[in-house]
Amino acid sequence: MAVAGTTIQANNKLIVFRKEMTREYIRQNLFSPYIGSEATAIIRVINDLKKGGEQINIPLIARLKNQPVATGTLVGNEESIDNYGDRAWIDWARNAVKIAASEEQKSSIDLFGEARPLLEDWGKELQRDEIVDALYAIPLASTAPAGLGSSGGQRVNGALFDGATAAQRNTWMSDNADRVLVGGSVGSYSATFATAMANITTSNGASAAGLLKAKRLAKLANPRIRPYKLKNGREYFVCFVNSYQFRDLQADTTIINANTYARPREGDGLEKNPLFQDGDLLYSGLIIREIPELTVRLPTFYTTAGTGGIQVAPMFLCGQSAMAWCWGRMPMPTFLKEDDYQFFRGVGVQMAYGLKKIAKLSLDQKYKEWGIFTLFTYAPSDT
């Protein structure tokens, strides 16, 4: 007589719940090497508002431009100092996690123990994404952000690009005429923003030639854009690009040849060559850095703005003091007080800051970005 085998009933099957959790990946802030409180930083950290206040004045001084006086009379021919105070506002950002004792009792993992690192990641991601939004934004002279003090707050100064009016975009285009290059061609410029974007065709992708032209024009812009750094008489700028533009630059024959023939082969040359390793492209005094969030957060307007509805995107060629990051309150932990007799536990984070592209109102009333030259290119999505 056959003996029946024993079957483990479903409720008696061993289930192992792993205690160590895996959190979703949060990309590091790729702007970090260019953030600092020193005057040479691209994104200038300003801490003055930690002492109090909602807005700060950033003084800007233009260079002297008068022709020299030789033997003529200097009295009455003195030059006035062109100066301007650019205003930036800060606002609050808060978040929290709240867990009831009943839910902690059920859980096989330490959810509350994960709350603080999750909040830290949330804060870092918010700051990084709002730097991107600030790059895309239209700076407005002495105008507080539209959502300042609202329920969600508004830490990005200026007009968020998709929320900007056509008039605001056109004014920016006109004011910054010496600081923009459309599709790699000076002739594609138009003071009407939408018209300029519609001049970009599928032949106007990101390229070494376009970058070099942008760099030449950036050196001629008035007021001058101070290079990120100077070394042995050479001027270096940093260009932040999205993933599609970086893809096209990686495939550019001129840049490939430069890295093929000009890079060292001895020692750790292979480890530093971008043909074989991920990282920045270096070309003719340009540090080209891919910022994936420029792709993710591309304003909707750009997705169909080019000729025939093609996708275009800006590249940001930056020098010193391109953006101000004003802090009123550094990120600090907060804790729930209304805990219903210790039945709830809660932890949060709060901070206050503002991000703004620095700009100067010139004597002829043009509001020009201080440290950014913008190059617009065709930037198709991958197919």
CA distance 108 to 113: 12
Find all residues with CB under 8 Å of 197, minimum gap 6, and list them.
Answer: 182, 302, 305, 306, 312, 376
Closest by Cα among 344, 310, 289, 281 to 99: 344
Question: Considering the chain, what is the average pLDDT of its residues?
Answer: 91
Confidence of residue 277 (pLDDT cuts 50, 70, 90): low
Question: Of residues 197 and 27, which shows the higher confidence score?
Answer: 197
| Beta bridge partner(s), residue 229 | 236
270 pLDDT higher than 70: no
pLDDT, mean of residues 1-24: 72
Question: Of residues 339 and 316, which shows the higher confidence score?
Answer: 316
**Alpha carbon distances (Å) from 231 to 170, 227, 228:** 37, 10, 10
204 pLDDT higher than 80: yes
Find all residues with CB under 8 Å of 341, minimum gap 6, and list them.
Answer: none
Does 33 sit behind a cis peptide bond, omega within 30 degrees of 0 on the bond before it? no
pLDDT in tens, 97-126: 999 999 888 887 787 888 899 999 999 999
Share of the chain above pLDDT 90, in %: 77
Say if pTM beats, i.e. exceeds, 0.95: no
Least confident of 29-43, 133-147, 259-273, 368-382: 259-273
**Alpha carbon distances (Å) from 374 to 1, 41, 136, 197, 217:** 86, 18, 10, 13, 10
pLDDT, mean of residues 176-192: 97
pLDDT, mean of residues 245-259: 93
Measured N-to-C along each axis, helices 253-261 and 208-220 cross at an angle, to the nearest 10 degrees, of 90
Can you give the pLDDT at residue 113?
Answer: 83
Helix (H, G, I), strand (E, B) or coil at 178: helix
Can you give the pLDDT at residue 134?
Answer: 98
Q: Which of 17-26, 157-166, 332-341 has the highest mean pLDDT?
A: 157-166
Can you give the pLDDT at residue 381?
Answer: 97
Chain centre distance of CA 37 = 17
Closest by Cα among 214, 188, 177 to 368: 177
182 pLDDT higher than 70: yes
pLDDT in tens, 69-101: 998 999 999 999 999 999 999 999 999 999 999
Chain centre distance of CA 300 = 17
Question: Of residues 177 and 39, which shows the higher confidence score?
Answer: 177
22 pLDDT higher than 70: no
**Alpha carbon distances (Å) from 345 to 80, 88, 95, 98:** 61, 37, 14, 6
Can you give the pLDDT at residue 261?
Answer: 66
DSSP 264-279: --STTHHHH-TTTS-S
Closest by Cα among 249, 322, 260, 325 to 286: 249
| Beta bridge partner(s), residue 124 | none
pLDDT, mean of residues 286-294: 96
